[in-house]
Chain A
Amino acid sequence: MTSEPASDRPRRKVRNFALLSNRAGAAFLTPAGLLVSVFVIVPFFWVIFVSFTNRTLLGKTALNPEFVGLANYFSLFDPGNFLQRGQFGFSLILTVQFVLASALIGQALLGLLLAWLIQTVPPWVKRITETFVIAAWILPEVVIGFAWFAFLDRDQGTLNAMLTSVGLPRGDFLLDQPFWVIVVFNTWRGAAFSMMLFGSAFSSISPSYFQAADVAGATSWQKFRDIGLPLIRGHIVTDLILITMWTFNTFTPFLLTNGGPSYRTELVSIYNYRVAFHDFQFGKGAAVGVIMMLINLAFALIYLSIGRKKKG
């Protein structure tokens, strides 16, 4: 993925700094190269290979898996049950909705809003806000998962205690609104990244632009729309692609809902986990993994091509 595509343009010759001889350089690279091949490259091709077999953990196909061609892929895309709950298509569509709602709308918009608002507040408010938002981002996942589980519990949960204390009805959030729970959760969890990225993008804009706008009597919204947004457009694209990839692969909602109830929060990563490590169907699980890799690859290619365009 890192190799540049061949191009007709004449290239500048890369000057070779002779820090080490070629041989010594190769010798120093070998240990790292071995590690990468054993733990990254070999498993990568192994997963692709396994996805063409009916390998399982239990039963006779554990010892003697057979080559089944594309059968695993066909079973994932079986039109008879593709969109049923607990099947691949349902998970895929759910994940798309999850990415749209929690990453593109939730994290990016909230991050943008926070980044813009804290440009103008007193420094101490800015620091406190940043601390809390970033804390949500860097805390360990298990701690976060438990905290949210305790927060949302119907009987003992903090949220219900707060709601009843102001006279509002209690809710059974994890059971009745599981999808919106994980959307809000992921928005809360990831907004920090967008906020930091947009924040530094905003502060890289020359203050004179805003001063001139102030003199002309522009409102905050006008400054945002006509100065802020156009100047950070490149950052927004980068941000959207990165958080789309991360959200697409995220597994943390599993800690809140286990993918349930009734598979209603089973994102593809959780579906992949269930097929491979709960049902122990390694072949089918590997096929899901390969499809996820292809989707990620597509995102990564878009991301890289945009990065290249920016440079050129």
Chain B
Amino acid sequence: MGEATTMQGYWLALLGTGEGVMDDSGKYIVSSQGILDTLNLYKTIYVDEQLGDQRAQLLADGRNRSFANFRDGVTALLFEGDYFYRSVTAEGSEFAVADRDKVMGWAKVPAEKPGMGIRGQDFVTISGGTGFVLNPATDAPKEAWALLSFMNEPEMQNAFQAIQPRITARTDVEIPDSPFLTETSRTLLPLTTARPNDENYNAVSAEIQRMTEAVVSGELSPEEAMAQYKASVIGIVGEENTVSLL
């Protein structure tokens, strides 16, 4: 359990139903067909048809177990980010996949039905993780801005790419020696979304994890889990900041 449960799992399925965790006006959606469809997908995969490794969702070190399963050929398919390629399965790491450029492939996450994803997309994805940000309360905004500008110049970004190839925000900076990252970022960046920039997001995300875990463990039905989520989120952000679509 952790943010990966929310972002590399729940979000991707939810975006595929055409919804986000928040609506356009910034209110948390606490009851909707999208949430139910997402939870039913979890139920299908982990409870009804047992297609996924339920233990990896429930155990304390579940994420590492899912990596080990993938490395050992036990699990064929994981929902993961570019981090999975850059770091987890990279040569020399604990979960390195031997000869991965030949045996490992990737696919976009499809929406529930074509055209049904967020913004009417056929495929969905979500970004976010590392960022360099300016503290709004800084005493030296000009200098901080100058430093950030300097760090983001093509020359600096190219030097950084040489140390650690990763998805870049600049179209004029190439990712060296990484056809995988180049290809995924070109395909996925136009489709991508981001998590809400909201102080309550972490607490809501913890409730999302509780909701999916309750369904995966078979403790609650999707309807019951959503009702519990609704009550909890209203408790965190107040009823006026939530919206029920059902």
- Is A258 an interface residue, CB under 8 A from the partner? yes
- Is B112 an interface residue, CB under 8 A from the partner? no
Given A75-B235, A80-B231, A258-B60, verify A86-B210 contact (CB < 8 Å).
Answer: yes
Contacting residues, chain B, for A154 (C-beta < 8 A): 55
* A260 to B209 CA separation, bound complex (whole angstroms): 12
Interface residues of A in 119-163 (CB under 8 A from B): 154
- Is B217 an interface residue, CB under 8 A from the partner? yes
- Is B232 an interface residue, CB under 8 A from the partner? yes
Contacting residues, chain A, for B1 (C-beta < 8 A): 260
- Is B228 an interface residue, CB under 8 A from the partner? yes
Contacting residues, chain A, for B60 (C-beta < 8 A): 257-258, 260-261
Q: Could you say which of B8-16, B161-169, B198-206 contacts chain A?
A: B198-206
- Is B21 an interface residue, CB under 8 A from the partner? no
- Is A262 an interface residue, CB under 8 A from the partner? yes
Contacting residues, chain A, for B235 (C-beta < 8 A): 75, 78, 81
Given A75-B235, A175-B58, verify A58-B214 contact (CB < 8 Å).
Answer: no
* A154 to B58 CA separation, bound complex (whole angstroms): 14
* A303 to B235 CA separation, bound complex (whole angstroms): 39
Contacting residues, chain A, for B231 (C-beta < 8 A): 80-81
Q: Which residue of A lies closest to B200 (CB)?
A: A59
Taking a contact as CB atoms under 8 Å apart, the answer to whether A261 and B59 are in contact is: yes
Contacting residues, chain B, for A260 (C-beta < 8 A): 1, 58-60
Q: How far is the CB of A183 from chain B (nearest CB, A)?
A: 18
* A81 to B229 CA separation, bound complex (whole angstroms): 11
Taking a contact as CB atoms under 8 Å apart, the answer to whether A279 and B203 are in contact is: yes
Q: Mark A86-110, 1 if CB is under 8 A from B, else 0.
A: 1000000000000000000000000
Taking a contact as CB atoms under 8 Å apart, the answer to whether B232 and A81 are in contact is: yes
- Is B219 an interface residue, CB under 8 A from the partner? yes
Taking a contact as CB atoms under 8 Å apart, the answer to whether B58 and A85 are in contact is: no
Majority secondary structure, A binding face = loop
* A262 to B228 CA separation, bound complex (whole angstroms): 14
Contacting residues, chain B, for A84 (C-beta < 8 A): 228
Q: How far is the CB of B206 from chain A (nearest CB, A)?
A: 6
* A62 to B1 CA separation, bound complex (whole angstroms): 25
Taking a contact as CB atoms under 8 Å apart, the answer to whether B217 and A261 are in contact is: yes
* A281 to B1 CA separation, bound complex (whole angstroms): 18
Interface residues of A in 67-89 (CB under 8 A from B): 75, 78, 80-81, 84-86
Taking a contact as CB atoms under 8 Å apart, the answer to whether B228 and A279 are in contact is: no
Contacting residues, chain B, for A280 (C-beta < 8 A): 202
- Is B19 an interface residue, CB under 8 A from the partner? no
* A279 to B3 CA separation, bound complex (whole angstroms): 12
A-B pairs with lowest CB-CB distance, top 7: A258-B60, A59-B199, A261-B58, A262-B217, A262-B213, A86-B210, A260-B60
Query: What are 18 pairs between A and B in contact, CB < 8 Å?
Result: A59-B199, A60-B199, A75-B235, A81-B231, A81-B235, A84-B228, A86-B210, A174-B59, A260-B58, A261-B58, A261-B59, A261-B213, A261-B217, A262-B58, A262-B213, A262-B214, A279-B203, A280-B202
Spell out B's residues near A (CB within 8 Å). Answer: 1, 55, 58-60, 199-200, 202-203, 206, 210, 213-214, 217, 219, 228, 231-232, 235
Spell out A's residues near B (CB within 8 Å). Answer: 58-60, 75, 78, 80-81, 84-86, 154, 172, 174-175, 257-258, 260-263, 279-281
**Additional A-B contact list (5), CB under 8 Å, known A59-B199, A59-B200, A81-B235:** A58-B199, A85-B214, A175-B58, A257-B60, A261-B58
